[in-house]
Structure 1
Amino acid sequence: MRILKYITFMFLFGSLLLSCGGGSDNETPIEPVAPVVVDPSAASLIFPEDNTECNEGVINADDDTRSTVNFQWSASENTDSYEVKIKNLESGSVTTATSTTNQVDVLINRGTPYEWYVISLASGTTSTATSDTWSFYNQGQGIENYAPFPAIAITPQRGATITETSSTVTLEWSTSDVDDDIVSYEILFDTVNEPTTSLGSTTNTTINASISTGNTYYWRVITKDSFDNTSNSELFEFRVE
């Protein structure tokens, strides 16, 4: 009788285990679903405005050659934080500021041209989004006329490789000026990385230059305004194949 009760108990216990899903080796385990991270979108810049003089900075009490400027942009979608890149167009140095909101205060030099842009970042992804790039002058003491902004290469793009289809190439650039009084551009062009050969001066934003296959060319734009203020662009280069 006790043996019968024991057998009955084991049968019931085994049935209970099976009914509770006691494991079949053939069952497919359920994989956890990873959350979907949406890439951030690009911010839109607000202040300092493009191609203007910024005169709202707070002058540094300990050094009146510098002022604190409040950089502002529109909040972008799917974004957790921002990197603000601010480039001094005279020295080439870049300041990086970070923010979890759509603004940040940065201490910069007065009487100096800058360009800036914002990178949108999101947690869980390495993808980023970059805003447009704007230029401005941070107001300086007693400046009545500002030098033009340094020119930016349009074609050939910086670092480009082009195929020779003729013996000349058209160099094209863009620039702007707070005072809107640019009078001429001088173009330095050569196969050495500090070009001194001048292609001459022009009032246009294009000029033709002679080229040949297998060479790397370097060029720079010197922009001049009606007060004889000048600005030198960065060094641009391209290769001809």
Structure 2
Amino acid sequence: MRILKYTYYIILVNLLLISCGGGSDNDTPVDPIVPVVLDPDAASLIFPEDNTECNEGVVSTSDETKSTVTFEWSAAENTDSYEIKLKNLDTGSVTTAVSNTNEKDISINRGTPYEWYVISLANGTSTSATSDTWSFYNQGPGIENYAPFPAIAISPQRGSTVSSSSTTIILEWTTSDVDDDIVSYEILFDTSETPTVSLGETIESTIEATIASGNTYYWKVITKDSFDNSSISELFEFRIE
């Protein structure tokens, strides 16, 4: 009987040691649980609408050249905050605003073209998501007809290197106009960073240019409308291998 009691005692002690973490030095440590942070989704822009005139801004009482516009976009999944990027297409200057909701009041110049997009951000990750880019004109006092939006290069892509055995290349661009009255495009094209050589005017959104291997080319698009308004694009460049 004593032997049985002694054996039972040893088994009980071993069970207690195991349950309390004592005993073996080969116990596998438990890794801490790391929370999973999901990447944010891209927002969808709502207002100001693309390629339109924004006429809902509140004009400043202290400066009539400015108005406050409420920018709106859809709430994005897995997102804690947003960065609103707003570019003045006349000056090229970019303004950044931050919001924890899906709207933001921003004071901007009247009678001025802008483009904007929204970046979705999430705490705990450096990954972000970017919305589409939209353009609009902020309504100005006494403006009956707006200049076209500055053209955007499609091909060759800005900063690209092109492999070509041809002596010519097709330049392609896109643009829009609130009043829908664009009448022509003039293309400035040269190896100079300030191109002054005109390839002529066209009503199409493409034009052929002569090229040579090893050169870097720079070009701009001047867009004109029926009221003699015009806009000049940013400088585009590409290199020929």
- Give the TM interval when normalised to the shorter protein: over 0.9
For 1:50, give the aligned amino acid.
D
Listed one character per residue, the Cα deviations across residues 166-193 of structure 1 (whole Å, up to 9, x for unaligned) are: 1111000000001100000000000010
Query: Does 1:235 pair with 2:229?
Result: no
Which letter does structure 2 place at the counterpart of 1:138? N
Would you say 1:136 and 2:136 are equivalent positions? Answer: yes
The amino acid across from 1:131 in the alignment is S
Deviations 1:73-99 (A, max 9, x none): 011111111000000000000111111
> RMSD in angstroms over aligned alpha carbons?
1.7
| Mapping of residues 31-110 of structure 1, within 5 Å | 31-110=31-110
Tell me the equivalent position of 2:147: 147
Give the Cα–Cα distance (whole angstroms) in 2 for the partners of residues 12 and 30 of structure 1: 25
Q: Distance in 1 between matches of 2:19 and 2:144?
A: 89
Q: What does the per-residue CA deviation read over 1:24-72, in whole Å, with 9 as the maximum and x for residues that have no partner?
A: 2111101112111111111100000000000000001110000000000
Structure 2 distance, partners of 1:50, 1:119, is 17
Whole-angstrom distance in 2 between the partners of 1:121 and 1:19: 45
| Residues 155, 173 of structure 1: 8 Å contact kept | yes
**Share of identical aligned residues, percent?**
73
In 1: Cα distance, 2:200 partner to 2:18 partner? 92
One-letter identity of the residue aligned with 1:56? E
Secondary structure of 1:144's aligned partner: coil
Give the superposition deviation at 1:165.
2.6
Q: For structure 2, list consecutive stretches of 5 or more residues without a partner in the other structure.
A: 1-8
Q: CA deviation at 1:239?
A: 0.7
Distance 1:195 1:20 in 2: 80
> 1:127: how far off?
0.7
Compared with structure 1, are the counterparts of its residues 32 and 149 closer, same or farther at alpha carbon in structure 2 (3 Å cutoff)?
Answer: same
Deviations 1:152-172 (A, max 9, x none): 000011111110131111000
What letter matches 2:41 in structure 1? S
Amino acid at match of 1:57: G
Corresponding residue for residue 160 of structure 2: 160
User: TM-score, length-normalised on structure 1?
Assistant: 0.93
Residue aligning to 2:193: 193
Scaled by the length of structure 2, the TM-score of the pair is: 0.93
Residues 109, 27 of structure 1: CA spacing in aligned structure 2 closer, same or farther, 3 A cutoff?
same
Aligned residues: 233
Structure 1 residue 18, shift from structure 2 partner: 5.1
Distance 1:19 1:46, change over 3 A: closer
